[in-house]
Amino acid sequence: MDKLLLLGDEAIAQAALDAGLSGIYAYPGTPSTEITEYVQSSEKAKTDNIHCRWSANEKTAMEAALGMSFAGKRSMVCMKHVGVNVAADAFINAAMTGVVGGLVVVAADDPSMHSSQNEQDSRFYGQFAMVPIFEPSNQQEAYDMVYDAFELSESLGTPVMLRITTRLAHSRAGVSRRPEKQQNSLHYSDNPRQFVLLPVNARVNYVKLLAKQRDYILLSETSVYNDYIDGNDHTRGIIAAGIAFNYLMENYPDGCPYPVLKVGQYPLPEKRLNSMAETCDELIVIEEGYPLIEDSLRGLLHKGLKIDGRRNEFLPRTGELTPDIVGKAFGFPTITSMVVSEVVKMRPPSLCTGCGHRDMFEALNEVYLEKGEDSKIFGDIGCYTLGYLPPFKAMHTCVDMGSSITMAKGAADAGLKYAVAVIGDSTFTHSGMTSLLDAINDQSPITVIISDNETTGMTGGQDSAGTGRIEAICLGLGIEPEHLHVLVPLKKNQEEMVRVLRDEMSYKGVSVIIPRRECIQTLARKKKS
């Protein structure tokens, strides 16, 4: 069969389709979005009735995927690294219940924060939940690992995590497929206690979960994804995880002189690590993200060895690895035949010309600047976060999904006179609804702007869970109808928007203002198709 040219994300999706997937659950988030999109646009999703509609957030996605597994079928749940925080309650407890149908959890990390608020390392979540983790070094491995992960998940009765990073997610390479499998039929666990985590059952499950750890380690010892490549020079031994392996080998095109253990499956293979430590004078760890392997080694090794890694600045503590960074660590000179000219300036992203968020910020700034220090704007996660940058400079916070409303409420509780929250429609239904409920119950004096572009814009225009129902949701939560306004953010309506904002910012209770105009990118795509 011919190779397919696939993004890492697409390879993951193709593997899931080939492995008999019955449903994929996700909320869009860079760099994980394209996994679900690939399934959505596949013929197979239609012909085989594979669930692929977006979920409201990562927690609902994780729970639905677990529900599908409960019913015996294979499911996948995908998210960006910070999405794992949202899904964590369900994820950690899914490890406690175990699974029936294979359940693969994909966490896409974003070291260097290309499109994120932090660079947290999802392997820690996998380790915390005590589930096996795969970490591919290339697109073919991503495919193979997902294909194998469904089998492993079912045979061990546990969710399996696949951890990738931005570079693999968004890089394309040739991928060979494996034979297509049928979907599982509906079937259930024969243990009625398995999914009921009452303390009496949870204690039993926890002992089982701990007992399984030994099996997981044994599997890692013999895994094809943990590959030992011997070298002549044992003054150093190198442990390279996931795509870090590529950056090492890029610097040694004719083969690495030192022994290398390529790590792709966790928990770590303790015996292999120890036998490497026996024959090497010191160890070097190259891993994308936090120093997980590096720190683990200090507890796992039977003898003390010097370990170079991110802790001692052998490699930088922050940011994505590159072939240059790894090369420099090994003493290779950086070639600079040309220096980058100083005329080259930063070109940060900006709101599109004609975007409705722009008109919203124009109006908001007019009122906000009148209030001076008495007014703060609490932002959220989405395109409109760019309102922080010039020319608007209209944002004082951006922390996590839904935090705009609750942080505004907290600041108002503290005495801030004019607290304004700016949140998008998709972020609102992801995590802002409960925040609004808190504010309404407390009658907090805040003004909430739900800047509604009827899509999930930043990630490329995916369906937004509450489109057409945002006012109904707000009314249902208890917002007073006279303090709920829907406006069209256009230049010609500027005066009206300013007036409504000024009135509502003076109101000593919760108001919701919904500037609504479809995202111009989504609109353009619709017109094209």
Site residues (CB under 8 A) for another protein?
Answer: 3, 5, 7, 30-31, 33-34, 114-115, 167-168, 170-174, 243, 245-247, 249-251, 322-324, 327, 334-341, 343-352, 383, 386, 390, 458-460
Cβ of residue 516: shortest distance to another protein, in angstroms? 20
Which residues fall within 8 angstroms of residue 356, CB to CB, at 6 or more apart?
451, 453, 489, 490, 515, 516, 517, 518, 519, 520
Q: Based on CB atoms, which residue is closest to another protein, 165 or 406? A: 165
Q: Based on CB atoms, which residue is closest to another protein, 113 or 196? A: 113
Cβ of residue 102: shortest distance to another protein, in angstroms? 28
Cβ of residue 284: shortest distance to another protein, in angstroms? 17
Cβ of residue 333: shortest distance to another protein, in angstroms? 9
How many angstroms separate the CA atoms of 96 and 208, rounded?
9
Q: Based on CB atoms, which residue is closest to another protein, 13 or 243? A: 243
| Helical (H) or strand (E) element with 313 | none
Cβ of residue 364: shortest distance to another protein, in angstroms? 20
Q: Based on CB atoms, which residue is closest to another protein, 54 or 418? A: 54
Q: Based on CB atoms, which residue is closest to another protein, 169 or 512? A: 169
Q: Based on CB atoms, which residue is closest to another protein, 184 or 385? A: 385
Which residues fall within 8 angstroms of residue 111, CB to CB, at 6 or more apart?
119, 165, 166, 288, 289, 319, 320, 321
Cβ of residue 478: shortest distance to another protein, in angstroms? 34
Q: Give the alpha-carbon dihedral of 146, 152, 158, 161, to 10 degrees.
A: -30
Q: Based on CB atoms, which residue is closest to another protein, 68 or 162? A: 162
Which residues fall within 8 angstroms of residue 93, CB to CB, at 6 or more apart?
197
Which tokens in the block code for residue 305? 């060895």
Cβ of residue 3: shortest distance to another protein, in angstroms? 7
Assess contact for 5 and 172: CB atoms under 8 A.
yes
3-state SS assignment for residue 338: coil
Q: Which residues pair with 163 in a beta bridge?
A: 107
Largest CA distance in the chain: 78
How many angstroms separate the CA atoms of 221 and 187, rounded?
32
